[in-house]
Structure 1
Amino acid sequence: MSQQSASFKPKTVSSVLKLHLKNEKVTVKKRPLCLVTELMRIFSKEALTRAADQAKNEGDSQVTLEHFEKILPQLLLDM
């Protein structure tokens, strides 16, 4: 099995950011967009790793929503 690095498309991240901006005229420049995209990638990877560890600790072979729910409070506090 080949290991691929997960990533987000900058255009998708930009669209999500625009949904939450109050002023429609605000634009996100390329460098800050790259930074936010990288932060989202790191956050997602950390969440997946912690959920997988939680599943392993419980003796499960698959990660479920319950595993994410268990790790989410600490993950948000750590960020």
Structure 2
Amino acid sequence: MAESSAEITFKNETVSKLLSSFFKEEKTKVGADAVILMAEMLHVFVQEAAQRTIKQAEAEDCDRLDIEHFEKILPQLLLDF
């Protein structure tokens, strides 16, 4: 599997809108610090998902990642987070 140094980033505005979409009251606001922390959490989550998916594919002696590899690691990943 090829190593990539591409950095995963999330726009603060996107994270803010994502969080706000789950609020029941429109008056509820998200602080700037909360948005930054959630963006970092999403960054860690996506990196961990990618690493576990790669390990799953390697364990199955596959040289290509498929959605099935991701689906196999997803339940434990969600429990860990």
TM norm structure 2: 0.89
Q: Which residue of 2 aligns with 1:23?
A: 25
Query: Could you say what secondary structure the match of 1:20 adopts?
Result: coil
**Structure 2: 5+ residue stretches without partners:** none
After TM superposition, where is structure 1 displaced by more than 4 Å over at least 4 residues in a row?
none
Asked if residue 7 in structure 1 is aligned to residue 3 in structure 2, the reply is no
Structure 2: distance between partners of 1:55 and 1:72: 13
* Structure that is richer in helix per residue: 1
Structure 1: unaligned runs, 5 residues or longer: none
User: Shift of residue 59 of structure 1?
Assistant: 1.2
Counterpart code for 1:39: M
CA RMSD of superposed structures (Å): 1.4
- Is the alpha carbon distance of 1:2 and 1:42 closer, same or farther for their aligned partners in structure 2, counting shifts above 3 Å? closer
- Aligned equivalents of 2:4 and 2:38: distance in 1? 27
Q: Within 5 Å, which residues of 2 pair with 1:1-79?
A: 3-79=5-81
Taking the aligned partners of 1:77 and 1:46, their CA distance within structure 2 comes to 13
Shift of 1:7: 1.1
TM-score (norm 1): 0.91
